[in-house]
Amino acid sequence: MKLKLMFLFSILLIIPSAIFGALLKSEFTDIGTGEDPLQHFNVGMINDDLLDNAVQNMHETLDECPIILRVMAESEEEFVFLRTKQRVKVLEVYKGDNLRVGDSIYITKYQSSVFFEQKAVNMGFVNTMIPNDEYLIFLESKIISVDNREAIYETPGYIIAPIFAYKDRENELVDPIRQDYISASYSMLMNNEFFAVSQEGIDKLNNLKDILQARYPAD
């Protein structure tokens, strides 16, 4: 009898919880899924002072990265827990062991962080890769993934993600919507390659890209 009473009591507790959970779920929109989920987020823009130091550091040290690749983006960027990743195909290995032309790997940015409550994404001031376009990428190491079948590599710990499109993209300047955390809606920057507050900053990033891609040219 006691077991029956305990079972009935448990059922009475579970049913309201399940109903409440279902109601909440019906009202909740998963902004990490669906077509172009980044449209729901704001992204950071780098100011000139921070950019100057970051670009100078990249000029001096990027060649020391253990992995340097030319890749072709194979997928859109995906949300994974509180980070993002993107699948690419290796087209050329300029530097790096255990990677071969034709390998499909995932790239995640060191800076990659998703803040769902604030609807903000740290993208390392560099846009997502466009599927079928080619990129010069500097990587630090392979990281441990939940699914061991996936080869995931992370960019180094620079403020600016070292990912450079071989095809030029227009970089439109927009006014930040916040000054404490300099940011704008991704929808306003979605066609950019870089997210910077000034044309001078954009020019410095493009100059860095030109120098690096002359050193590591596409075939």
Report the pLDDT value the prediction gives residue 106, as an integer from 0 to 100.
Answer: 94
Percent of the chain having pLDDT more than 70? 79
Classify strands 183-185 and 42-44 as parallel, antiparallel or unpaired.
antiparallel
Overall average pLDDT of the 23-52 stretch: 66
CATH number, domain with residue 130: 2.40.50
As a whole number, the mean pLDDT across the chain is 81
- Flag whether 1 is in a domain: no
> Is 122 part of any domain?
yes
| 88: β partners | 73, 105
Domain-located, residue 10: no
pTM above 0.95, yes or no: no
3-state DSSP assignment of residue 94? strand
Asked if residue 23 is part of any domain, the answer here is no
Alpha-carbon span 175 to 45, nearest angstrom: 10
Q: What is the pLDDT of residues 62-116, one digit of tens each?
A: 999 999 999 999 999 887 777 788 999 999 999 998 899 999 999 999 877 777 6
What is the domain extent for residue 183?
A: 30-213
Does some domain include residue 5? no
Coil/strand/helix, residue 60: helix
Domain total of the chain: 1
Residue 22 lies in a domain: no
DSSP SS3 for 72: strand
Residue 8 included in any domain: no
pLDDT at 3 over 60: no
Q: Three-class SS of residue 117?
A: coil
Q: Is residue 189 part of a domain?
A: yes
Quote the CA–CA distance of 209 and 211 in Å, as a whole number: 6
